Chains A and B, each alone.
Chain A
């Protein structure tokens, strides 16, 4: 399949940064507070370093095979049987991520619109996603160019406006149970959202100039980490770790407490707008990567044939990925760190090591 689309360095940087945000903006503070309590922001900073190491691994792999997606070189490096098995883990992981993200956004809407069947909300989002993906990666990147600054500015405005409400005592005592709770939260936080960025092994080949990739991906990762740490601090300082660990969407509730000069209130709407914007763009990128990967695997002439069928499949899958939010939180805490390590760390690492040991050529063999 010929990939003609190209995106610039800045577009890749912002796409990567937004790839780390999305659901983490609204859900991550609770996950961190449940395990690391008031030291969640320290975990967030430590995991930012882990996220940087992961992105360096992905960059090395992408530069080892320039202009090619992981689907194109994995069977060449690992051989057909092992390559296909690794690819099954990789594609299964992306599909699961897409379904969970779609379900999270549908669940969020069902809280505000409890009478609307979630099937209808899922259908509406499926239509939006199809429309965005049919536009191609360049269109997604341009929309991201337009909306990402709004997302970052929104988070900045929120954290600044909430300063009068901050209770700095909520961050104390620092490390009350030594460093163990922080270490315990690291695998979960690395897998979500930093491990999710493995999807970008399908997106990196689209950068216009390969030399720009390290700068774009590393800057994107740092930008995403900064926003995540900011939102974790914002939630903890406003509500306190005990409350953050109890409520479902902590930043939403934290924003409700902001009242400026008794007329500027109800900023929870701003959080919702930021989250939905970021999550829809994230879903579009992940779904695009999935559609492209499956169509490359099956040798289709264009990814566009698969957009409508695969988005429909993911949409119905999202309705059955979990029954309740409790089930998903439990799954995220116990199974996600354990299972997702295969696609986000072991598969790319194995491909890189084997490619180096076997000295697999960078370019594809031209057809004879």
Chain B
């Protein structure tokens, strides 16, 4: 949810203030990644991570495998 709010705020500001588009690309990318890191840190501190990255990877591939298997049948 934190990520969604941050992204929505970013996109809204981008649309509302055209002068923001003149910020150098380097600063935009660095700022974006820093905000993402900050949001994920908040999420971690609040105990909001519902799954580990390993679970995300293995779970996704199990479901993809099942999907491909069902398509094969």
Contacts and interface: CB of A to CB of B under 8 A. Distances in A.
Give the interface SS of chain B, mostly helix, strand, loop or mixed. helix
Contacts of A312: 34, 37-38, 41
A322 to B, nearest CB: 5
Interface string B15-56: 000000000011101111110111011001100010011100
A309 B28 CA distance: 12
Contacts, number: 72
B25 A309 contact: no
B57 A322 contact: no
Give the interface SS of chain A, mostly helix, strand, loop or mixed. helix
Contacts of B33: 306, 309-310, 313
B14 interface: no
Nearest to B30: A305
A150 interface: no
Contact of A320 (B30, B32, B52): B52
B27 A309 contact: no
B54 A331 contact: yes
Contacts of B27: 305
B6 interface: no
28 contacts: A298-B25, A300-B25, A301-B26, A305-B27, A305-B29, A305-B30, A308-B30, A309-B30, A309-B31, A309-B32, A309-B34, A312-B37, A312-B41, A313-B33, A313-B36, A315-B37, A316-B37, A316-B44, A317-B40, A319-B44, A321-B54, A323-B52, A328-B54, A331-B54, A331-B58, A335-B54, A335-B61, A339-B61
Contact of B57 (A119, A299, A309, A339): A339
A313 B26 contact: no
B53 A321 contact: yes
A20 interface: no
B26 A300 contact: yes
Contacts of B54: 321-322, 327-328, 331, 335
B17 to A, nearest CB: 22
Interface of B: 25-27, 29-34, 36-38, 40-41, 44-45, 49, 52-54, 57-58, 61
Interface residues of A, number: 30
A316 B40 contact: yes
A310 B41 CA distance: 13
Contacts of B31: 309
A312 B34 CA distance: 7
Interface string A332-356: 0011000100000000000000000
The list of the 3 closest CB pairs from A to B, nearest first, reads A309-B33, A312-B37, A309-B34
Given A119-B45, A306-B30, A339-B57, 15 more contacts: A119-B44, A298-B25, A299-B25, A305-B27, A305-B29, A306-B33, A309-B32, A312-B38, A313-B37, A316-B40, A316-B41, A319-B44, A320-B44, A320-B49, A320-B52
Contacts of B40: 313, 316-317, 320
A66 B20 CA distance: 39
Contacts of B32: 309
B66 to A, nearest CB: 15
Nearest to A321: B53
Contacts of A86: none
Interface string A283-296: 00000000000010
A305 B57 CA distance: 29
A73 interface: no
A203 interface: no
Contacts of B30: 305-306, 308-309
A113 to B, nearest CB: 20
Contacts of A339: 57, 61
A147 B13 CA distance: 48
Contacts of A331: 54, 58
A108 interface: no
A96 interface: yes
Contacts of B37: 309-310, 312-313, 315-316
